[in-house]
Homo-oligomer: A and B are copies of this chain.
C-alpha cells in the first residue's frame, strides 16, 4: 500500500468498472462486483488488491500470488491460481497503469493562487489552476485550465500553456509555448538562451537568441533537464515525448512525436530527431544531424553522423550496432591472443 502521507487513494472500484475502464474482458468465473481496494505487485498483493503480469519472468510469482484480481494477457490466463479474478487484455501493463491512475489520480489538492505566490496582473489563469507558495508568473502569461504551478516555480512573461499542465517546484519556463498535459519536473529549466556566440578576434560576442521553445501536448521533461530556446528558429519537442532527468536539449533541436530521451543524454544544436526515436542514457548527439524515425541509440553512444530511420546505433563514434559489437568482439579476441 502506498504511504498515505504522500498518496491519497481513491476507490474502491468494482471489478466490472475497472474492466470497462481499460477495455479488458473478464476471465471465467469473475465476480463483476468484486470490490478492489488498491493496486499491488504480485508478490505483496492481498485479496482485495489488483496486480498485473506483463513479463514471463514473473509467471511463478503469478502462480503463487494472493492477489484478489490481476490484469493478464490472453496467453497467460490459464496459469492463474484458483479463485483469482482475471482481467484479460493484450497490453496488461497499460491496463495496470490506467487502473493505478484511477486509484491514485493526479489531482490538484486545492486550486487557487496561494497568498505567497506572485502573479502579474496581466497574466491570465484558466479555471481550476493552482499557483503554489513562492511561484512567480510573469506578465501576459496565459495558462489553460487546471494547470498546477508548484512551489517556487517561475513562469516567464508571455509564456502560454494549454490545459492540465504541471510545472514542478523550482522549475523555470520562459520564452515557451506549451500544449496541454505537459509535465515539467522539478528543477527543469526551459527556454533560456542557447549556447550562442560569435568567435571574433577580440573574444566571444553573444548572439541574441530570438527563438522560442515549442512543446506539444502530453510531453514530460524530467528533473533538472535543460531545454534551450531557439536561436532564431524554435526548439521543438513533439507530442508525447518523454525526456528523463538531467537531459540537455540545445537550441534549434527538433524532436518528433513520441521520442524517448533517457537520463543524462544530450542533443546538440539544430539536430532533428524524427518520430519515436529512442535515445539511451548518457548518449551524446552532435549538432546539425538528422536521426530518422524509429531509430534507437544505445546508452553511452556518441553519434557523429546521421542515423537512418529504424536503425539501431551504438558506440563512439556511433555506427550500426552490429558493426559496433563486431568491433568490440574483435578487440576482445585480439587481447586474448596477445595473452598466449
Q: Could you say which interface size class chain A belongs to?
A: 35 or more
Name A300's contact: one of B2, B109, B187, B316 (CB within 8 Å): B316
Contact B300 A326 (CB under 8 A): no
CB distance from A74 to the nearest CB of B (A): 15
Contact A300 B299 (CB under 8 A): no
The answer, yes or no, to whether A157 is at the interface (CB within 8 Å) is: yes
Q: A158-B6, A326-B338 are in contact. Are A302 and B302 (CB under 8 A)?
A: no
The answer, yes or no, to whether A200 is at the interface (CB within 8 Å) is: yes
Contact A195 B284 (CB under 8 A): no
Contact B331 A197 (CB under 8 A): no
The answer, yes or no, to whether A185 is at the interface (CB within 8 Å) is: yes
Helix, strand, loop or mixed for chain A's interface? Answer: loop
Q: Of A116, A168, A195, which is in contact with the most chain B CB atoms at under 10 Å from its CB?
A: A195
Q: A41-B232, A258-B203 are in contact. Are A208 and B94 (CB under 8 A)?
A: no
Bound together, the chains give a CA A134 to CA B284 distance in angstroms of: 35
The answer, yes or no, to whether A132 is at the interface (CB within 8 Å) is: yes
Name A222's contact: one of B104, B158, B187, B226 (CB within 8 Å): B226
CB distance from A288 to the nearest CB of B (A): 10
Question: Copies per complex?
Answer: 3
Q: Of A39, A98, A157, which is in contact with the most chain B CB atoms at under 10 Å from its CB?
A: A98
Bound together, the chains give a CA A195 to CA B157 distance in angstroms of: 30
Residues from chain B with Cβ under 8 Å of A172 in the complex: 151, 168-170, 186-187
Instruction: Report A82-106 residues with CB < 8 Å from chain B CB.
Output: 91, 93-94, 96-98, 100-101, 103-104, 106
Instruction: Report A223-256 residues with CB < 8 Å from chain B CB.
Output: 223-226, 228, 232-233, 240, 242, 244-246, 248, 250
Name A136's contact: one of B40, B133, B186, B246 (CB within 8 Å): B133
30 contacts between A and B (CB under 8 A): A5-B157, A41-B233, A91-B198, A94-B198, A94-B199, A101-B206, A114-B118, A132-B136, A134-B136, A134-B152, A136-B151, A169-B174, A169-B189, A187-B187, A189-B223, A192-B222, A204-B258, A222-B226, A223-B228, A224-B226, A224-B246, A248-B263, A248-B264, A250-B263, A281-B284, A316-B316, A327-B331, A327-B332, A327-B334, A329-B335
A6-B174, A118-B134, A329-B338 provided; 4 other pairs, C-beta below 8 A?
A5-B157, A94-B200, A204-B242, A316-B316
